[in-house]
Amino acid sequence: MSRYLFDSADVHAVGRFTVLENCYDPVSRCQLELTGLARGWRCLEIGGGSASLGDWLGERVGPQGEVTVTELEPRWAASRQRPDHVRLLRHDVVRDPLPGKDYDLIHARLVLLHLPQRIEVLTRLVAALRPGGWLVLEEFDCGWTPVLAAPDDASVLLFDRVHTALMGLLEKAGADPLWGRRVLGAMAVAGLQELTATTYAQAWPGGGTGIALHRHNTDQVADRLAASGVSAGDLDEFRALLKRPEFVVNSYPLISARGRRPHEKEVP
């Protein structure tokens, strides 16, 4: 089994998916359009979460195309209706063979970051593209989350303390919180061409949609944060801080990297 820190069967996953969908789906859709996404394409969405992007891909490729959405825990995605050309699969991208090959487009957002086997998975994703097919990987750089405004210095220290402890738990589970800054280089090593990356971030004020990601993440692993030395008082204050509009933190920067499998050499 994968060692993914945030159990997607837990109800906190729904809150997490809602934040990701609201804050990052518009960005991801733009990035996916830049590949030339068209009707009739065959697409693979890895670790699709709520499948909001997989369903949108289904609309873009139409019934003459096909979209496969994979997910370790598909229970939340399964609650949404979708047409026959969008298929949802329970699937572990580390252990299971990929469900197809010759894809026009493969997309994964915030999945490889969590996988200790991310380079091996990347290699298999590249091999599953058709020549000229696109891989779009979108990953956080969790190392750049400055506090942009705060009621006092103690609030900045509190945020950093709890956030650092959470990053420690992620690393222990095999995640690379800085994978976002490494992904383009890894895609080059994997043989992709026409590589480019765009980074998106926004201010997340207390009480808003985006900052709730910190609440879902820390609430879900509260017992492990406590075991790693975060006091109950700190966690309570942290939750209260996330509700204060005068506290503003930078969102996790989402690095959207895309590259293309080389076309086959033309035979003269």
Ligand X SMILES: C[S@@+](CC[C@H](N)C(=O)[O-])C[C@H]1O[C@@H](n2cnc3c(N)ncnc32)[C@H](O)[C@@H]1O
Residue 248's Cβ-count burial label (10 Å; 0-12, 13-18, 19+) is middle
Bridge partners of 254?
A: 140, 200
**Are residues 100 and 46 in contact, defined by beta-carbon separation less than 8 angstroms?**
no
**Are residues 253 and 144 in contact, defined by beta-carbon separation less than 8 angstroms?**
yes
How many C-beta atoms surround the C-beta of residue 7 within 10 A? 12
- As measured in angstroms, the least distance from the Cβ of 232 to ligand X is 26
Residue nearest to ligand X (CB): 49
Rg of the chain taking only CA atoms, in angstroms:
19
- As measured in angstroms, the least distance from the Cβ of 28 to ligand X is 8
- As measured in angstroms, the least distance from the Cβ of 42 to ligand X is 19
Angle at 146 between CA 145 and CA 147, to 5 degrees: 120
**Residue 115 to residue 123: CA distance in whole angstroms:** 13
Closest by CA to 108, choosing from 156, 54, 149, is: 54
* C-beta closer to ligand X: residue 14 or 34: 14
- As measured in angstroms, the least distance from the Cβ of 91 to ligand X is 6
Binding residues for ligand X (CB under 6 A)? 2, 4, 8, 17, 20, 47-49, 70-73, 91-94, 109-111, 114-115
- As measured in angstroms, the least distance from the Cβ of 49 to ligand X is 3
